[in-house]
Structure formats: C-alpha cells, structure tokens
Structure 1
C-alpha cells in the first residue's frame, strides 16, 4: 500500500519541515499547527494510542535554572479535560531535591507516587534523551540509554493512551 510522505509512520501533517523536526515522524502529531510546534507546554496526539512494542522518545535540553518538568501520557485527547481523568504515566523531574518520580491517575484519582531512584539523570543546561517503551504489563523508562525503572500499567486499555503532554523547565529538540 502506498503511503504519502505526510502519512509516513502515521504522522498527520502536511508540513515536511515538521517531519524533519521529529525524531520518528509519525508517532506524535502536535495539537497546534504552527512554527512553535515543539514549544513547551506541549500537547500532541499519539497516533493509534499505545500498544506493546511502541516507543516514545523525548529529546530536549534542561533549562539553565530548572525547577521541574513533567512528561505525561494521558487518555482522551479530544475530551478537553484539564486535568484528564486518566493519566497512564506521569514522569516528574524535580531539581530542588533531585528526584525523578512517577505516578498515575485512574478514574480521576491520583495513585501514590512511586519511590524515587538513587540516580538523578538530569543536569542543568544539558541535553537528555528519554525513552518510554510500552510492554504488555509495563512501561520501561530509559534516560540517555540507561534503564532507570519500570512502571506497571494502571490504565487497562493501552490504545486509550493517546496524548503526550510536556511541561516545565525544558526545551524539546526532538519528539517521536
């Protein structure tokens, strides 16, 4: 089946420049269609939702004087809920106490934040690469090629996880 350049790997855009700004064109389509598509705060649709074998990559640079940043995988991109009822995974990097935390929100209720890890992988004013690998029972989180932790699914329907939201003290350089 022939696929146009704008539909390659599932990205929904007519802007070839956008395809080159994403690490993997096709996985994520920004909610806004303008020159600031990777600006923070960022919200984009995950084409087809999550499924085992799917991977999300966020590359960026930490701000020079960061407070925190978060990356969330949420359900119901079209619902307009703020915050959404279900957040399958929220990763939060807090610089004041050097913690990288994770939690989920199911049916409108936040679960307990998972314990921090001994290693804080982010440095002020430096680039990073976060990979979120979706498996059958969990997300595997890697930063700069190092596996940091697993986060077991709380949201039952993986395809319902259809939005990525990024906020805080960072610049996004590539997203896929």
Structure 2
C-alpha cells in the first residue's frame, strides 16, 4: 500500500472576489489558515504526505476514539509512502493486548532499533483522545490529552521524513499538520497558498490554554485572516462564548454563543452599550456536550465566515468594521486544545 493524497479543506483560487460569488459557492469555500492542514474523518489506514516536509517547530495532531476492545494502534513518521518497505523515523505504538505499554522506536535500513517503552497507558477503551507530536531540535515531544507524555530523541534527520501513517483499533476523527507555512521569501513555488495571498499568522498555536482566554490580534481581522479554535465541550457544559472585541470602544464585532442548554448557536454584536438583534439560523450545530470541535473563523470583505470540522456553519455580516477588532476572547464552559491567530 502507498499513500494517496487525501482531502482536507476544499481550496479556491478566487478568494479575492469571494463576496461576489453565488451563495452556494460561498458556502463551499473553506480555506485553512497558513500552516494549518486538516484532514477530517479520514479512513484507516491513513497514509498522507506531510505538507512541504517535516521541520523543527512543526506539530502533528491526531484525534480519535479508541475502540472498546482496542489492542494496538500506531502513529509513524515514515521516510516514504509504503509503511512496509520504507524506514520509519518515529514509531509510536500503544499496546493494550496484555502488555499495557507504549513503545517508541525507529526502523532504519530495514532494521528496528532499540525499543523505548513506558509501562503506562494514557488512553482508555472507548474514549476520545488527542495526541500532539511537536518536532524540536533534539526530539519528538509527545503530548497526550494535553499532558506531556514522552520525549523521543531523533535517530535520523527529520528532513528525510515525508509521510504520516496512522492505523489501528480506533476511529480517526482528524489529523492536522501545524506549522508548515513558509513565507514567500523562502523562494518561488514554496507557498501552496500563494494565489490567495493570505496574511501570515502572528505565531505558532497556543496549546491547551486556560479559560478564560484573551489574545491580542495585531492588525485586526483583515480580509482573509483566519482564526483557528479547537476545543472540547464538557458533559456538564451549558454555554460558552467566542468574542471578537474592539478594545478601545468596548464593542463586540462578533459574539458567537453556543448554548447547549438551548441547542442553539447565537450570534450578535454589542454596540453603543446595547446588544443588537440575534441571529440563530444555522446549517448544522457542531456543539454539544462531550463533543470536540474545530472552528475556522475568517474575515471576508462583508462577512465573518465560520466553518466547523470543515463544514460551513454560518456567515455573519459585519456590523462593526472587522479591521477594528483587536482582541479575541473565549470564556465559559469549554476546554481549549489550541488556538491559532
């Protein structure tokens, strides 16, 4: 078996005029933020090229649900598209089949090296999990469910790694490649998103930030700027909010208020000391107790465009100039996995 490119967000080459497109075309446009390459609900085995290759500072995020009878699964950083024939730089292998341990290893020149193991399992059968692997100069830093789990030293140059392979006893919900954005100064043909001319992100994602969360948005929500918010809604959650604030005036340009107690997603703006009229119509509701969500919120010329888990949820016409927004605020009954601005 070899890897075939899969699908993440549908792309478009005509974003500069997106507000002039028909409504059905507008709803189809969902472009990831620079350096953010998601795959939603991929089939197993998952085998995909790593966008532009692996490098220091990048992270790979795997989210899934363990089978109730889970025995093993693997996450491999491979040196080619064939998981059998090609070498593996990083092998992450939880084993529940009577061993209850996690194995780390590398296969180089066709031979497995010395195993490194932890005799504890951070996963539970039948439950959600999140694995984040961040590449540093010295090692792969592995976090499970937001907690540091292990650091595995490099045994071969990361520049040789080309593919990610995931398989085993689980339902794979999403795979995200984070931090693979390059500026145009690195050379022609490097930036796959250059036709869009997307504004650069301010920095790397913030992982597992506390709530309430506040983040300055330098430069405002200029056209095509995208904010990524991934989180989990506790079973006891009733409401949380995401606000795009104007710090100098106290206005809220966009208030997104998922209300689990009402099974609604309310949108509004706060101007001149009063709330405006609520908007509640929605294509589908991605928020519910016990659910993970992955939001992409992007400013277009006339609207905020909001996608959840790769699907269009709603548009919100600007009532306050988006360029005036300078603060992102998140609060309420939510646990954040990461935020990227």
Q: Give the TM-score of the pair, scaled to structure 1.
A: 0.76
The equivalent of 1:115 in structure 2 is 117
Selected match of 1:26 from 31, 37, 40: 37
The equivalent of 1:87 in structure 2 is 88
Instruction: Flag structure 1 segments of 5+ consecutive residues without an equivalent.
Output: 9-15, 29-35
Alpha-carbon displacement from aligned partner over 1:107-133 (angstroms, at most 9, x marks no partner): 11110111224x310100000000000
1:174 CA displacement: 1.2
Return the alpha-carbon distance in structure 1 between the equivalents of residues 29 and 89 of structure 2.
30
User: Is the CA contact 2:74–2:168 (under 8 Å) kept in the aligned structure 1?
Assistant: yes
1:100 CA displacement: 1.1
Going from structure 1 to structure 2, the CA distance change for 1:174 and 1:140 (only over 3 Å counts) comes to same
The equivalent of 1:135 in structure 2 is 136
Specify the structure having the higher radius of gyration (Cα): 2
Return the alpha-carbon distance in structure 2 between the equivalents of residues 19 and 83 of structure 1.
33
Instruction: Flag structure 2 segments of 5+ consecutive residues without an equivalent.
Output: 1-9, 14-27, 177-341
1:7 CA displacement: 7.8
Going from structure 1 to structure 2, the CA distance change for 1:150 and 1:82 (only over 3 Å counts) comes to closer
1:27 CA displacement: 6.3
User: Is the CA contact 1:72–1:165 (under 8 Å) kept in the aligned structure 2?
Assistant: yes
User: Is the CA contact 1:101–1:116 (under 8 Å) kept in the aligned structure 2?
Assistant: yes
The equivalent of 1:64 in structure 2 is 68
User: Is the CA contact 2:11–2:30 (under 8 Å) kept in the aligned structure 1?
Assistant: no
Selected match of 2:46 from 25, 36, 42: 42
The equivalent of 1:167 in structure 2 is 167
User: Is the CA contact 2:83–2:165 (under 8 Å) kept in the aligned structure 1?
Assistant: no
Return the alpha-carbon distance in structure 2 between the equivalents of residues 6 and 87 of structure 1.
31
Superposition RMSD in Å: 2.7
1:48 CA displacement: 1.4
Alignment length, in residue pairs? 151
